[in-house]
Structure 1
Amino acid sequence: MKTIFEHIKGDKTIWAIVAILAIFSFMPVYSASTNLVYVVGAGSTLGYLLKHMVLLIMGFGIIYGVHKIPYRYFSGGSVLMLPIVILLLFITLMQGTTIGGANASRWIRIAGIGFQTSTLAGLVLMVYVARYLAKNKEKEISFKDSLLQLWLPVGLVLILILPANFSTTAIIFVMILIVTFIGGYPLKHIGIILGAGIFALMFFILVAKAFPDAMPNRVQTWQSRIESFSDSENKEAYQVEKAKIAIATGGPVGVGPGKSVQKNFLPQSSSDFIFAIIIEEYGFVGGFVIISIYFLLLFRIFVVIRKTTTIFGTLLVIGVGLPIVFQATINMAVATNLFPVTGQTLPLISSGGTSIWMTCFALGMILSVSASKEDTEEDILDDNPLDILHETI
């Protein structure tokens, strides 16, 4: 055990939180997978559990590998990755595949493995925004210059994600506005960008309404999810009602591990609505513990921010750390009918490959920052992306 701790760096509490969430996830995923086995008739419960375990083990490998990389490399790496991400998003939009009933334009297959490109895009974009703000921290930011260097890449990525995944687009956009505000970007310019974003969304909705064959069912899906709060015949309302029954059934201590009934009726019981299954099986106590763990993660993220010596490091941790907690909050709010259905998973607990891996990549970045004590702003921002590529090769 001592040897293991000698090889891992960074905030040990974050390591512990990740391990606790991952280990705890085994039982809810195993339990909820019976829906896919006995209702849908696909695979076996043991098979789904083993798949989830393999994905988490790979995720820990990602965390370990990423946290060993000096975080200054992420700055230039984001510049290299941005064109690749844009290309992947374009390919996904044009010829994506349907996985688990999800919209076809969210997924592509790489070497036979389904990959949701929007999660990678969000991560790369947050690092890119942190880099831009850190590079321009000591000088007055020109709105005209920032339109080309900052908002053009941001807008292009978000436009490519929007047709298939509004919730992810909204989360990324909100997180970027938060990071830019904290990074000292002029507030009046943020207001202009916010207005432009709202206008772009309205324009997209009008175009989608005018040409429904070009983007079938997307605006209708958003509309139905909003209406599901009051429409009991809606599919999303059906899921939320079953989730509410699961939560009400759980009571203080739950019905016991594996004894959930509503998992057999919730289509996304192992992913989008797994929090409801957790409360049904482990009760209010179990739900409260999960919420507390995520809040502890948020607290440790702020501890890392406080100890970070560079602006880029601070903005990087904010940019990749807050979305994890924000996503968890949205997932739990959906399960408790406080928010419309969004399709956001519960980080490190819900089943799913891309979501787990990108969460682990973000956590690896945070741990890399927390493990570093010697980098200066000049060391980080003077990195030439081509030099990084050469060193990698």
Structure 2
Amino acid sequence: MISREQRTPFSEWWWTVDRVLLAALIALMLAGVILSLAASPPVATRIGLDPFHFFNRHVLFLAPSLIVLIGVSFLSPRQIRRTALIVFALAIVLIVVTLLFGPEVKGSRRWITLLGVNIQASEIAKPSFVILAAWLFSEAARRPEMPATSMAMVLLLMLVSLLVMMPDFGQTMLITMVWGALFFIAGMRVIWVFGLTGAAAGGLFAAYLLVPHVAGRIKRFMNPASGDTFQVDMASEAFSNGSWFGLGPGEGIAKRSLPDSHTDFVFAVAAEEFGIVLCLALLALFSFIVLRTLSRAYKSDDLFTRFAASGLAILFGVQAAINMSVNLQLIPAKGMTLPFISYGGSSMVSLAYGVGMMLALTRQRPQTEVNAIEAAGSYA
């Protein structure tokens, strides 16, 4: 038992961190281990690997992810800002290197191999981008004379331009939605709402006209007979087969032929083997994590803490919503992982970094520390 009287960094962390939120995140990670074991062996077997290749790697990536999550949750808001600046700069460099030297797969360059590890730099950029945008919006509210909002716009355009060059329109849409949500929370004018909505619609229309890959996905979504819809059709069949309580662990049919059953369509495997009841439980868990973070964020008097925690929660929730919506054929197919459930090392470590910052920002801090944060808020 950890005593409140102990004045060690760990004891202070333990009594100030949101332990309920931490438990929910660990439960989600454990669910990911179970679903990886259920979904990945057929995929590995089909491509000639050991049946537990992806499962073993999923568990392997879980260890550094937990270390990152816990380690980052010890940081102060000022340390979070400074760390995010370094991580974002590193991510931008890696994205540029990926564009120049990364292998082209299915018409896009999204991965680069460093020291034998495949890295998706766009995943690393997301949580650090949210922190920097939140800091700029908080500075704009504190000091109206500072062009912080314009700087946040430049930051968005820089990252979005690099993502479009890959191209990675799924991440572009996610980043833009989270930035827009932060801008809304920061109190943007109504005219900006219409302007940004129009710009987003214009960008989507331009992508539809100029990028065959995007046009094909939208056309297949609107008219399934216009192209190959094998994966989404199999996902729908998995939901139908699983009904409320599923076929049972290991009894799934769709995963035997779904190429991305361990990544983009792991939610469909969960539905077929464990039923809609488990899917609703996962949805409730994601919703709880987002709402719990938002509720604690809005109890903070520090604008940066409020904006940053809210932005990270929205990033986490929207990414989960996009993945589940694709599985349910509610939106066109996109390559978006389900947080901590889908296979993917870059995604898992990046998510751990993001939720670690969520835990750090929602810790209960003495009023004296809060006052110090506010007094130093305009300095990185």
SS state at 1:86 partner: helix
Q: CA deviation at 1:382?
A: 3.8
Match for 1:149: what amino acid? M
Per the alignment, residue 11 of structure 1 pairs with 18
Per the alignment, residue 212 of structure 1 pairs with none
* Equivalent of residue 98 in structure 2, options 88, 92, 111: 92
Q: CA deviation at 1:161?
A: 0.4
Q: CA deviation at 1:312?
A: 0.2
Structure 1 residues 233 and 268: CA distance shift in structure 2, 3 A: farther
Preserved contact between residue 63 and residue 363 of structure 1 (Cα < 8 Å): yes
Matches of 1:20 and 1:147, distance apart in 2: 38
SS state at 1:109 partner: strand
Matches of 1:153 and 1:301, distance apart in 2: 25
Match for 2:32: what amino acid? S
| Structure 2: runs of 5 or more not aligned | 4-9
Q: CA deviation at 1:186?
A: 3.0
SS state at 2:113 partner: strand
Q: Which is further off, 16-25 or 243-252?
A: 16-25
Preserved contact between residue 70 and residue 372 of structure 1 (Cα < 8 Å): no
* Equivalent of residue 277 in structure 1, options 257, 269, 273: 269
Q: CA deviation at 1:188?
A: 2.2
Q: How does 1:14-163 map to 2 (within 5 A)?
A: 14-41=21-48, 43-97=49-103, 104-140=108-144, 145-146=147-148, 148-163=150-165
Matches of 2:272 and 2:199, distance apart in 1: 43
RMSD, aligned α-carbons: 2.4
Per the alignment, residue 187 of structure 1 pairs with 190
Structure 1 residues 232 and 27: CA distance shift in structure 2, 3 A: farther
Preserved contact between residue 134 and residue 312 of structure 1 (Cα < 8 Å): yes
* Equivalent of residue 174 in structure 2, options 158, 171, 176: 171
Matches of 1:372 and 1:102, distance apart in 2: 47
Structure 1 residues 102 and 308: CA distance shift in structure 2, 3 A: farther
After superposition, give the CA deviation of every residue in 1:111-146 in whole Å (9 maximum; x if it has no partner): 22111111222222211111111112134468xx45
Q: How does 1:226-305 map to 2 (within 5 A)?
A: 226-229=218-221, 230-232=223-225, 234-235=227-228, 237-305=229-297
Sequence identity percentage: 24
SS state at 1:162 partner: helix
The TM-score with structure 1 as length reference comes to 0.86
Structure 1 residues 267 and 380: CA distance shift in structure 2, 3 A: farther
How many residue pairs get aligned? The number is: 367
Q: Which is further off, 155-164 or 70-79?
A: 70-79
Matches of 1:51 and 1:322, distance apart in 2: 28
Matches of 1:312 and 1:292, distance apart in 2: 28
Per the alignment, residue 375 of structure 1 pairs with 370
Matches of 1:244 and 1:205, distance apart in 2: 25
After superposition, give the CA deviation of every residue in 1:82-102 in whole Å (9 maximum; x if it has no partner): 44333222222222235xx66
Q: CA deviation at 1:325?
A: 1.1
Q: CA deviation at 1:27?
A: 2.4
SS state at 1:332 partner: helix
Match for 2:63: what amino acid? I
Q: CA deviation at 1:105?
A: 1.3
The TM-score with structure 2 as length reference comes to 0.89
Preserved contact between residue 43 and residue 255 of structure 2 (Cα < 8 Å): no
SS state at 1:114 partner: strand
Preserved contact between residue 73 and residue 380 of structure 1 (Cα < 8 Å): no
Preserved contact between residue 219 and residue 226 of structure 2 (Cα < 8 Å): no
Q: Which is further off, 80-89 or 173-182?
A: 80-89
Structure 1 residues 300 and 31: CA distance shift in structure 2, 3 A: same
Q: Which is further off, 319-328 or 133-142?
A: 133-142
Preserved contact between residue 110 and residue 121 of structure 2 (Cα < 8 Å): yes
Q: CA deviation at 1:284?
A: 1.5
Q: Which is further off, 50-59 or 31-40?
A: 31-40
Matches of 1:200 and 1:226, distance apart in 2: 14
Per the alignment, residue 7 of structure 2 pairs with none
SS state at 1:157 partner: helix
Q: CA deviation at 1:241?
A: 0.5
| Structure 1: runs of 5 or more not aligned | 210-218, 385-393
Preserved contact between residue 96 and residue 104 of structure 1 (Cα < 8 Å): no
Residues 1:358 and 2:350 aligned together: yes
